Chains A and B, each alone.
Chain A
Amino acid sequence: MAHVAIRGYSYCLNHTPELGLHYGNTPYMERKSHGETEFIKKLPDHVQSFDEACCYPPNQVYIGGMDLDALVDHPAPMYLNRLKNAPRFGKFGEIMPENEFLGLMDICDVFDLIWLDETFASDVSGALAKHPVMNQKVLSRLEKGHASSEIEEEVSKHGALPLYFQGKIAGCCRKGHDVDESLSAHVLLENIASKAGSVLALLHLLKSTELAPGDVDYVIECSEEAAGDMNQRGGGNFAKAVAEIAGCTSASGYDVRSFCAAPVNAMIAGAAQVASGARPNVVVLAGGAIPKLFMNSRDHVKKGMPALEDCLGNFAILLDPDDGTCPVMRLDALGKHSVGAGSSPQAITSALVLEPLQKLGLTFSDVDKFAAELQIPEITVPAGAGDVPVANFKMIAALAVMKGQLTKEEMPAFVKQKGIPGFAHTQGHIPSGVPFIGHACEAIAEGKYRRVMIIGKGSLFLARLTNLSDGASFIIEPGTGSSRQQGVTREDVREILLEALSELSKGLTG
């Protein structure tokens, strides 16, 4: 079976500007290195409200509240042309406000690391009780809270990090060990936030697919955080910890890491396990990255625009056998950026786009849409990083020209026709191809697309282990029912025997 069904998907954002103001890496390092600078003083004035974040068109596209095509024609800059009264929930997920997300972090904490102020905890409990994907078992994990004096003492005397809501201390994240830097409050805060984002996406996925938590067989997590202690800093494992909170008692899981290429690699790992019959289903998921909040905000402040990087991104995707009713991942033509492939943009694009197409005897024009890096351009252009999605589509078009499949004059039309606008936050692994899977599957199911390619690229060189980067890609097409063509079941044998006996009986009596 070379095809695996994409049975369901969920996409959520966590609007967490106050986590970003204090623990996003750019403001955090600025404050640590230079104190309360002009940039730090001005940044809060550039923060979007929750309602503004909900009405920001790319955020709505991410959660499935707005059609992707509508984003193409939306007037720029989109932060000055917001939607009116856009809802918090979309067909793929939601934008969760910060107070509820802090509550969810407490729910996801099994080591009494997150302490919430008792009044805040009570308010959040009421809000989460109305949440459509929270069940009683999950909600019962929320603590009653602590007196504000206890939280102040943890922060002032015991190295806990304060958590804020509406400018006031709403709780804290405590350290997990006296001397272990891998269990510092800062590391644990990032890890618990990522875990909570994954849990939220998984709960939405279970609801939308109507899959019982106990029926999840395996979880593969693919964020960019490292869970461990001083003896094994990246020991893991987020996947199983996420499954535990969501009540997936029959599931196990592991983590896949490859910087921003991890989600595509995780999708391939999960699909391969389903295709081989090793697992009846696999959920691939990831939570967000606190350090990347407000990563480019220095330039946003300089240019007098909103600091748009205020959301953590999460997703979850359910893979199971291809029964012909859902779009499928093809496993017979995967893109792989090998060690010897080279680091030039042409070499990378050739390995990830051209070679899989050649393997199937297809051309660039046979793909309706390519989804590579999908960062929101309004975030990256002011910071000097350019329109990343367009840069990737131009490179694909240039390669098509080099291979004689397109003329140079046709390049702009190709980029417009085959590319998609960026709509994902600069959350590293989150914008790397996977946000398009939901929209692509809907369009394939409607017959609008017949084939799309998902491409992930990862900056391995940032870890200073190698100068190499990574990349992987796969193709999505309509389902074929390949799992039904896999051989003969006991039922099939029974039917064949009954048919044969019936024929024999007719022959004897006739």
Chain B
Amino acid sequence: MGKLAGKKVLLLGERDGVAAPAMEESLRNSGADFVFSVTECFV
């Protein structure tokens, strides 16, 4: 549990950067509440 515990989190991923599912995976044990998670592509 870190500083994100109990916080509502929006995850905005980018196709050639870090995708949202990868962020979710890495923050799984942070205690954050993922209220929105999406990966976008601008190319």
Q: Which of B1-43 contact A (CB under 8 A)?
A: 14-22, 25-26, 38-43
Which residues of chain A are within 8 angstroms of B15 by Cβ–Cβ distance?
A: 457, 459, 469
Which of B19, B38, B40, B41 lies in contact with A343, CB distance below 8 A? B19
Interface assignment of A383: CB less than 8 Å from any CB of chain B: yes
Which of A260, A344, A457 lies in contact with B25, CB distance below 8 A? A344
- Judging by beta carbons under 8 Å apart, are B22 and A343 in contact? yes
Interface assignment of A467: CB less than 8 Å from any CB of chain B: yes
- Judging by beta carbons under 8 Å apart, are A459 and B41 in contact? yes
Which residues of chain A are within 8 angstroms of B40 by Cβ–Cβ distance?
A: 462
Interface assignment of A44: CB less than 8 Å from any CB of chain B: no
- Judging by beta carbons under 8 Å apart, are B41 and A380 in contact? no
Interface of A is mostly: loop
- Judging by beta carbons under 8 Å apart, are A380 and B43 in contact? yes
Interface assignment of A194: CB less than 8 Å from any CB of chain B: no
Which residues of chain B are within 8 angstroms of A296 by Cβ–Cβ distance?
A: 42
- Judging by beta carbons under 8 Å apart, are A345 and B41 in contact? no
> Which one of A113-121, A130-138, A198-206, A384-392 is at the interface?
A384-392
Interface assignment of A295: CB less than 8 Å from any CB of chain B: yes
- Judging by beta carbons under 8 Å apart, are A380 and B42 in contact? yes
Q: Give chain A nearest CB distance to B36 CB in angstroms.
A: 13
Which residues of chain B are within 8 angstroms of A263 by Cβ–Cβ distance?
A: none
Q: Give chain A nearest CB distance to B17 CB in angstroms.
A: 7
B19 nearest CB neighbor, chain A only:
A343
Interface assignment of A428: CB less than 8 Å from any CB of chain B: yes
Which residues of chain B are within 8 angstroms of A459 by Cβ–Cβ distance?
A: 15, 39, 41
- Judging by beta carbons under 8 Å apart, are A391 and B17 in contact? yes
Which of A345, A388, A461 lies in contact with B18, CB distance below 8 A? A345
A295 vs B40: C-alpha distance in the bound complex, in angstroms? 13
A469 vs B22: C-alpha distance in the bound complex, in angstroms? 11
- Judging by beta carbons under 8 Å apart, are B39 and A461 in contact? yes
Interface assignment of A373: CB less than 8 Å from any CB of chain B: yes
Which residues of chain B are within 8 angstroms of A295 by Cβ–Cβ distance?
A: 42
Interface assignment of A99: CB less than 8 Å from any CB of chain B: no
Interface assignment of A87: CB less than 8 Å from any CB of chain B: no
Which of B18, B19, B38, B43 lies in contact with A431, CB distance below 8 A? B43
Which of A344, A345, A388, A467 lies in contact with B43, CB distance below 8 A? A388
Instruction: Name, among A375, A459, A462, the residue most crowded by chain B CB atoms within 10 Å (CB to CB).
Output: A459
Q: Give chain A nearest CB distance to B32 CB in angstroms.
A: 18
Interface assignment of A297: CB less than 8 Å from any CB of chain B: no
Q: Which of A303-321 contact B (CB under 8 A)?
A: none
* Cβ contacts A367-393/B at 8 Å (1 or 0 each): 000000101000010010110100110
Q: Give chain B nearest CB distance to A483 CB in angstroms.
A: 37
Instruction: Name, among B17, B19, B40, the residue most crowded by chain A CB atoms within 10 Å (CB to CB).
Output: B19
- Judging by beta carbons under 8 Å apart, are B43 and A373 in contact? yes
Which residues of chain B are within 8 angstroms of A428 by Cβ–Cβ distance?
A: 43
B18 nearest CB neighbor, chain A only:
A345
A259 vs B16: C-alpha distance in the bound complex, in angstroms? 14
Q: Give chain B nearest CB distance to A494 CB in angstroms.
A: 56
- Judging by beta carbons under 8 Å apart, are B21 and A385 in contact? no
Which residues of chain B are within 8 angstroms of A345 by Cβ–Cβ distance?
A: 17-19, 22
B14 nearest CB neighbor, chain A only:
A385
Interface assignment of A426: CB less than 8 Å from any CB of chain B: yes
- Using known A-B contacts A385-B14, A459-B15, determine if residue A467 contacts B42 with beta carbons closer than 8 Å: no
A461 vs B22: C-alpha distance in the bound complex, in angstroms? 13
Which residues of chain B are within 8 angstroms of A347 by Cβ–Cβ distance?
A: 22
Which residues of chain B are within 8 angstroms of A426 by Cβ–Cβ distance?
A: 42-43
| 8 A-B pairs with least C-beta separation | A459-B41, A344-B22, A343-B21, A343-B19, A385-B42, A343-B22, A459-B15, A375-B43
Known contacts A342-B22, A345-B17, A388-B43; 10 additional CB pairs below 8 A are: A295-B42, A343-B21, A343-B22, A344-B25, A391-B16, A426-B42, A428-B43, A461-B19, A462-B41, A469-B39
